[in-house]
Amino acid sequence: MITQSQKLSHQSKHKTEWHQHVTGQLFCIRRGMMMVQTEQTQWALTPATIGWFPPQLRHCAWTVGKVEGHSVQLSVCGSDALPQQPGVWPADPFLLLLMERISQLDPQVETAQREQHLLAVMMDEIRLAPPAPLQLMLPHDRRARRIAEQLLLQPQNTLRQQELAAENGLSIRTLSRLFSEQTGLSFSRWRQQARILASITWLLRGGPISETAMQCGYENVSAFIAAFKLRFGMTPGAFRVLNSKA
């Protein structure tokens, strides 16, 4: 069942190279932000979220700001109680306390039945929680992937879709089709999501909202606030206050 449980404490810009392991991993972040990238998707684990990554999933990770939280590794058998696909979910106070209790289990003292009961409760809570809007599918076409990676590294990039397509030997129609088919989002919606995810990094650093908007490619603060509120149901300022208390 639980093969390892530990507190997470990483300095800013800590990086874990590409790897995979036989265990599944549960993460709960209380401070900072951790980015986890699989071969198809990039995930953002922010304060007050629970992240799950099944066994044998190839991934890498890096931190934004100083990260604190908990990590639990589950055997293949223990992982059966959780989803077969990775995911990130918002965690209310009960789920956060449950994750902390699970991370404190001592395999030499607790019974397997006790572990199973707690994991079953967690699975019920996750099943009822809506997925957090903190993931971004990546295209697998080489040219589209190059554009995606460029925009992830440079969210402030103001080149138009037509210009990005031409730079990479694509027509605008082909670029649109590749993103739609391979990410499930139109190019413009994908770019919007990339900018929103990038903005979380700046928000958690505590800088001005206006600077966050500029660094993430928005023409003005109002446009940024509107896009953020549409995605998260709250303003950037409210999001930062909520996560600083997590």
b/e code 156-190 from CB counts within 10 Å (16+ = b): ebeeebeebbeebebeeeebbebbeebbebebeeb
7-26 confidence digits (pLDDT tens) = 888 887 889 999 998 999 99
| Mean pLDDT computed over every residue of the chain | 88
The CATH architecture annotation of domain 138-244 reads Orthogonal Bundle (1.10)
Give the start-to-end residue ranges of the domains of the chain.
2-128, 138-244
Nearest of 83, 195, 108, 203 to residue 148 by alpha carbon: 195
Domains 2-128 and 138-244 fall in the same CATH topology: no
140-182 confidence digits (pLDDT tens) = 999 999 999 999 989 999 899 999 999 999 999 999 999 999 9
Pairing of strands 49-53, 87-90: antiparallel
* pTM, to two decimals: 0.79
The CATH architecture annotation of domain 2-128 reads Sandwich (2.60)
Which pLDDT does position 220 carry in this prediction? Answer: 92
Phi, psi of 75 (to 5 degrees): -65, 170
Q: What's at 193, amino acid-wise? A: Q
